[in-house]
Amino acid sequence: MALTLYEKIFNRHVVREENGTYLVYIDRHLIHEVTSPQAFEGLRIANRKIWRSSSILAVPDHNVPTTDREKGILDPVSKIQVDTLDENCKKNKLMQFQMNDKRQGIVHVIGPEQGSTLPGMTIVCGDSHTSTHGAFGALAIGIGTSEVEHVLATQCLILKKFKTMLVNVDGILGDYVSAKDIALHIIGQIGTAGGTGYAIEFAGAAIKNLSMEGRMTLCNMAIEAGSRAGLVSVDDKTIDYLKGRPFSPFGKNWEKAVEDWRGLVSDQGAKFDKVINIEASTIEPQVTWGTSPEMVCGINDKIPNPLDEENLSNQKGYQRALDYMGLKKGTRIKDIELDKIFIGSCTNSRIEDLRKAADIVKSKRVAMNIKQALVVPGSGLVKRQAEDEGLDKIFINAGFEWREPGCSMCLAMNADRLEPHERCASTSNRNFEGRQGQGGRTHLVSPEMAAAAAIYGKFVDLRGDRDVTNK
């Protein structure tokens, strides 16, 4: 029978099944400081042991400061959480990259970077953006703290099968249109609940053409479409990316693994519960204008009129979003002026993202109205590579701040945040009310769009404003 990639991975991990409820074996468990302390505490209280310590890789990322690391963590509450992770890892002899380790970074950046994320794996983490790792042909899902405890104690999760959705993106992306724009465009089409209950496989020529970084960005945002898992089939790019990484298999095991991984593609004729086709050339650079990622439009569009929505609940929701965002219907996206720029997060903080942004800001200056422009690399290794390539100088010379790796202003659990009513062009993943700081106003965009917004002080269409680029 022809199987989808999702079914292939799911099937090889089934320990047992009863009435459609499956006990599913987990290969990799990624852990960070926010969603794990109560799970370790639960184990202790029940006097349970960790089933397979070698499956775990831990790193602090949500709370860590992005400046003056040598001073430690100044916020005492954040410090307790990071210290608790240190203690739990030490006590249980778990592999952890501590805050000052050069390999430290955002959990969804370091997993693939270390070769800790491999095709065919089941991967979990107490973080919804775990979907990121699906870019490698893995089944990667975000879980809650109770499930973190369950995986620690049993190496398994109790799951139902997801339905399957194929999002086929054919054709060629336009200039300055990236994986982030594909993701936002899809969410704009199907809505933030459109993928609920589904595992989404992204396929088609435009996906094949994406780099591994681009595929990670896309799968990362699957959760913003409501889907716990995004997937991309394995190809040469997947295998080339993983070769020689610290945790990747080597020698004979590498050969065996590659042979197996080549089969991690959806079979010809495999049936999906839902199929969506998108032509890549129709995707415009995207900008969100509201407080949900589905409130999104193209750079050349105007803010919609809530009254154009058919359903009353949507009308109210749109109006509430516009009030919160301080925007009016009919305003051109290009006329929105910004206060801050954030380039970072598990969505867009990898080397390719930084290269693309640097290419746009090179020899330019951040606009006068921009109070702060941050670049927060996804990991210590991304940071170092960027510095080796001279990207840090480009950003600093343009007026950006070059920070230490972490989640930073994506969710503002550390000191990096928006003040009330500040408006930010952000490469992160959520534009919820208060997400980047109470009263803060977030516009989600690609790294290219954020970089250009920093230079112009407002959103611009790079395809029309060639003078801001180096082309």
Partner 1 sequence: MLPINNHHGIVIPLDRANVDTDAIIPKQFLKSIKKSGFGPNLFDEWRYLDHGEPDTNPKKRDLNPEFILNKDNYREGTILLARENFGCGSSREHAPWALLDFGIRVILAPSFADIFYGNCFKNGILPIQINEQMTDLFFKKALSESGLKLTIDLENQLIIDDNEKYNFKVDVFKKYCLIQGLDDIGLTLENKEDIKGFEIKYYNQYPWLK
Scan residues 133-162 and list those touching partner 1 (CB under 8 A). 142-147, 149-150, 153-156, 158, 160
Contacting partner 1 within 28-47 (CB under 8 A): 34-35, 37-38, 41, 46
Residue 22 vs 176, nearer CB to partner 1? 22
Between the alpha carbon of residue 230 and those of residues 9, 188, 375, the distances in Å are 13, 17, 26
3-state secondary structure of 316: helix
Taking CB under 8 A as the criterion, which residues in 233-252 touch partner 1? 249
Which tokens belong to 471?
A: 């082309």
Q: How far is the CB of 169 from partner 1 (least distance, A)?
A: 23
Question: Which one of 434, 457, 461, 468 is in contact with partner 1 (CB under 8 A)?
Answer: 434
Cβ distance to partner 1 smaller for residue 187 or 351 = 187
Q: Which of 154, 116, 158 is nearest to 138 (CA)?
A: 116
Considering the complex, what minimum distance in angstroms separates the CB of residue 76 from partner 1? 9
Which of helix, strand or coil describes residue 34? coil
- Report the C-alpha gap between 386 and 439 in whole angstroms: 33
Nearer to partner 1, 161 or 384 (CB): 161
Smallest gap from Cβ 456 to partner 1, in A, equals 29
Name residues contacting partner 1, limited to 269-308 (CB under 8 A).
292
Instruction: Burial-class residue 276 by CB neighbours within 10 Å (0-12, 13-18, 19+).
Output: middle
Identity at 404, one-letter amino acid code: E
Count CB neighbours of 134 within 10 A: 32
Interaction residues for partner 1, span 104-133 (CB under 8 A): 118, 120-121, 126-128, 130
DSSP string, 103-172: T-B-HHHHHHHTT-S-TT-EEEESSGGGGGGGGGS-EEEE--HHHHHHHHHHSEEEEPPPEEEEEEEES-
* Closest CB to partner 1 among residues 178, 429: 429
Rule CB under 8 A: choose which of 44, 48, 102, 332 binds partner 1.
Answer: 48
Contact 233, 119 (CB under 8 A): no
Which part of the chain contacts partner 1 (CB under 8 A), choosing from 208-216, 353-361, 429-437, 454-462?
429-437
Closest CA relative to residue 456, chosen from 337, 344, 374, 350: 337
Among 110, 186, 257, 280, binds partner 1 (CB under 8 A): 257
Q: Minimum distance between the CB of residue 437 and partner 1, rounded to whole angstroms? A: 9
15 binds partner 1 (CB under 8 A): yes
Compute the least distance from the CB of residue 293 to partner 1, in Å: 9
Asked if 27 is part of the footprint of partner 1 (rule: CB under 8 A), the reply reads yes
Q: Which CB sits closer to partner 1, 41 or 359?
A: 41
Please count the residues of this chain forming the interface with partner 1, following the rule CB under 8 A: 73
- Dihedral pair phi/psi, residue 391, rounded to 5°: -70, -35
Cβ–Cβ under 8 Å, residues 460 and 452:
yes
State the Cα–Cα distance between residues 285 and 443, nearest whole angstrom. 13
Considering only residues 155 through 214, tell me which ones interact with partner 1, judged by CB under 8 A. Answer: 155-156, 158, 160, 192-193, 196-197
Q: By C-alpha distance, which of 237, 236, 219 is closest to 228?
A: 219
Residue numbers 350-409 binding partner 1 by CB under 8 A: none
C-beta of 268 vs 313, nearer to partner 1: 313
Cβ atoms of 58 and 7 within 8 Å: the answer is no
Please, which residue, 156 or 327, has the CB nearer to partner 1? 156
DSSP code at position 89:
H
Distance in Å, CB of 31 to partner 1, minimum: 13
Residues found in the chain:
471
Question: C-beta of 276: minimal distance to partner 1 in Å?
Answer: 19
Q: With contacts defined by CB under 8 A, name the span among 176-184, 314-322, 332-340, 351-359 that binds partner 1.
A: 314-322
Compute the least distance from the CB of residue 70 to partner 1, in Å: 22
What is the nearest approach in angstroms of partner 1 to the Cβ of residue 82? 10
x/- track of binding to partner 1 for residues 317-336 (CB under 8 A): x--x----------------
Beta-bridge partner residues of 375: 343, 402
For 194-244, the DSSP string reads TTTTEEEEEESHHHHTS-HHHHHHHHHGGGGGT-SEEE----HHHHHHHTT
- Comparing CB distances to partner 1, the nearer of 158 and 396 is 158
Tokens coding 326: 């301080």
Q: How far is the CB of 455 from partner 1 (least distance, A)?
A: 30
Ranges of beta strands (E only) in 26-89 are 28-31, 56-58
Task: With contacts defined by CB under 8 A, name the span among 2-10, 19-27, 300-308, 382-390 that binds partner 1.
Answer: 19-27
* Cβ nearer to partner 1, comparing 158 with 275: 158
DSSP 3-state assignment of 328? coil
